[in-house]
Structure 1
């Protein structure tokens, strides 16, 4: 049933004539008459009777008026709800990523929630970046946190932050005052130490090994931990070395661990990946807060 036909019938009933109804709806009178006639054919009943004194609504027409009003109100409510989702005022936003890549985005999530409190936000975790990308490709989440380069041919990536890595050194003669400058690492600082790192299967590019290669050394031993959040606590246990993002390293320094900078910068670029067809208001606003350029959606 066409809502335009219901609007036409209500307009005739409320304005008392076809001509006045056509004016109210900004239609020609023939166009309005066709809409009413089409609805009468669909319902197989007469809704109005023309008399010398004007238009009279039939009993079936009168019975239609209140349901018609409800249908139009519901349609307006649907349009309003869709407009709110498109604008980002309402709806849902789901982001997925590995725990080690999510470090440092807490303030972004807080800013998003403060600016769009009616949007339901969900942060999910994945075992690998490839798994996070696959979830977005399958439509299970809106955005994936990825470490560039992006391997997907389906998604588009919006680079948002470049992170540098620092070296966290466990106890063992390298302690420095918390407010002192961060020194550049030397071979003596890391030799005969155990390298703590994330699983090699999930992270084939081990930045700890990159550091040892720069200094032409080999770790005394390896210790694999499941998540980035364990790197600093375990570093407090003895002669260890871990190469971690700067925000994680600064946490370690606040807890008494020594830091060092690599001989050459070790960096990564983090991005949010989305399906090109997903440009909802919530997605656009989140990426804008993250620093993605507006031109990315052009």
Structure 2
């Protein structure tokens, strides 16, 4: 069993078929098909159901997905460790983080990390829901993850990050200019991300403590829409520091809440050796 075969196998899984996988890998489809066929022959069974418009894993294929991801990740870590000894500073850093955590604090931490290690290539993935972060780290899809500090991570190594503050961002011309009590948030209509996301969780929890339920004017997974919608008067939003500063520069009214609404992230990774890039990032965070 070769690393190339496992990478081809995972590409077919992720892209839903041989044609799309070959295109993504920049290899010919016959070469990819031959590699998968050789892997199936070695393992003694079909890994995919070949369909008219794609391919889906068989039960045997499903059983191979997680081990294949772990093996390819461990091989990458081993290669990077050798390169580090040989003085090669380049590498790859894969992180999965919800958008709020990616904005603050991840963006600032990555900026500092890349100033120290400019040759490292970084990929940041946004999960659909916060609960998926731990799953992606456990499966080996991503080496590091940022989760809410309260998320269950007992089976993962972790380090707690500093608290971040959320600001109340209001449409231009709003007459609230001072810190707003949590009970007053019930007077507002909100532009918010779906339940299960970081800022929505803070909003729901804050109003729940006051015995209230937030009124959601617009719920969107497209977080880039939130500030434009607030600027157009669709509603208010709770945003991390850097997004709030940007919104203020575009004319929004930004005020604090009393008490302040805060969130905290935890950086997590699987037990065991990390790639040099990931180890360096963990060291920076610590």
TM-score using structure 2 length? 0.62
Deviations 1:183-224 (A, max 9, x none): 211589756431121102545963334444566665555321
State the match for 1:151 in structure 2. 152
Q: CA deviation at 1:167?
A: 0.6
Are the structure 2 counterparts of residues 153 and 210 from structure 1 closer, same or farther at C-alpha, using a change threshold of 3 Å?
Answer: closer
State the match for 1:121 in structure 2. 122
Are the structure 2 counterparts of residues 171 and 288 from structure 1 closer, same or farther at C-alpha, using a change threshold of 3 Å?
Answer: same
Are the structure 2 counterparts of residues 157 and 186 from structure 1 closer, same or farther at C-alpha, using a change threshold of 3 Å?
Answer: same
Residue 249, structure 1, aligned to residue 250, structure 2:
no
Q: Would the aligned equivalents of 2:174 and 2:253 in 1 still touch at CA under 8 Å?
A: no
Q: Would the aligned equivalents of 2:165 and 2:241 in 1 still touch at CA under 8 Å?
A: yes
State the match for 1:23 in structure 2. none
Question: Could you tell which deviates more after superposition, 159-168 or 273-282?
Answer: 273-282
User: d(CA) in 2 for partners of 1:81 and 1:185?
Assistant: 50
Q: Would the aligned equivalents of 1:170 and 1:235 in 2 still touch at CA under 8 Å?
A: yes
2:180 aligned residue (185, 189, 194): 185
User: d(CA) in 2 for partners of 1:81 and 1:248?
Assistant: 35
State the match for 2:131 in structure 1. 130
Richer in helix (by share): 2
State the match for 2:89 in structure 1. 89
Q: Would the aligned equivalents of 1:100 and 1:229 in 2 still touch at CA under 8 Å?
A: no
Are the structure 2 counterparts of residues 172 and 130 from structure 1 closer, same or farther at C-alpha, using a change threshold of 3 Å?
Answer: same
Question: Could you tell which deviates more after superposition, 184-193 or 274-283?
Answer: 184-193
RMSD, matched Cα: 3.1
Deviations 1:33-86 (A, max 9, x none): xxxxxxxxxxxxxxxxxxxxxxxxxxxxxxxxxxxxxxxxxxxxxx99743346
User: d(CA) in 1 for partners of 2:81 and 2:190?
Assistant: 52
Q: CA deviation at 1:148?
A: 0.8
Question: Could you tell which deviates more after superposition, 128-137 or 206-215?
Answer: 206-215
Q: Would the aligned equivalents of 1:166 and 1:244 in 2 still touch at CA under 8 Å?
A: yes
Are the structure 2 counterparts of residues 261 and 118 from structure 1 closer, same or farther at C-alpha, using a change threshold of 3 Å?
Answer: closer
How many residues align? The count is 207
Question: Could you tell which deviates more after superposition, 147-156 or 220-229?
Answer: 220-229
State the match for 1:264 in structure 2. 259
State the match for 2:7 in structure 1. none
TM-score using structure 1 length? 0.59
User: d(CA) in 1 for partners of 2:153 and 2:99?
Assistant: 20
State the match for 1:106 in structure 2. 107
Question: Could you tell which deviates more after superposition, 222-231 or 188-197?
Answer: 188-197
Deviations 1:74-132 (A, max 9, x none): xxxxx997433468834322111122220032232233233223333222221122212
State the match for 1:208 in structure 2. 203
Q: Name structure 1 gaps, 5 residues minimum.
A: 1-78, 177-182, 293-298
State the match for 2:232 in structure 1. 237
Are the structure 2 counterparts of residues 120 and 193 from structure 1 closer, same or farther at C-alpha, using a change threshold of 3 Å?
Answer: closer
User: d(CA) in 2 for partners of 1:115 and 1:187?
Assistant: 41
Q: Name structure 2 gaps, 5 residues minimum.
A: 1-77
Q: CA deviation at 1:158?
A: 1.1
State the match for 1:222 in structure 2. 217
Name the SS of the counterpart of 2:277 in structure 1: helix
Name the SS of the counterpart of 1:101 in structure 2: helix
User: d(CA) in 2 for partners of 1:131 and 1:253?
Assistant: 32
